[in-house]
Amino acid sequence: MSKQRVVLVTGGMGGLGESISKKMEQAGYRLAVTYSPGNTKHAEWVAENKREGFDVLAVACDVSDYDSCAKAVAEVQAKLGPVDVLVNNAGITRDMTFKKMDKVNWSAVMNTNLDSMFNMSKQVVDGMVERGWGRVINVSSVNGSKGAFGQTNYSAAKAGVHGFTKALALEVAKKGVTVNTISPGYIGTKMVTAIPKEVLDTKILPQIPVGRLGKPEEVAGLILYLASDEAAFVTGANIAINGGQHMQ
Domains of the chain: 6-241 (3.40.50.720)
Considering the entire predicted model, what is its pTM? 0.96
| pLDDT at residue 49 in the model | 84
Give me the amino acid identity at 92: I
CA dist., res. 189 & res. 28, Å (int): 24
Are the CB atoms for 143 and 154 separated by under 8 Å? yes
Mean pLDDT value across residues 139-149? 94
Mean pLDDT value across residues 105-128? 98
Q: Which distant-in-sequence residues (6+ apart) come within 8 Å of 128 by Cβ?
A: 83, 84, 134, 135, 136, 172, 175, 176, 177
* pLDDT for residue 190 is more than 90: no
Q: What is the DSSP secondary structure assignment for residue 202, as one 8-state letter?
A: I
| pLDDT at residue 3 in the model | 67
* pLDDT for residue 194 is more than 90: no
Is residue 38 very low, low, confident or very high in pLDDT (cuts 50, 70, 90)? confident
Residues acting as catalytic residues: 154
| pLDDT at residue 14 in the model | 84
Helices (H), the chain: 15-26, 42-51, 66-79, 103-110, 116-131, 142-146, 152-172, 190-193, 197-199, 216-226
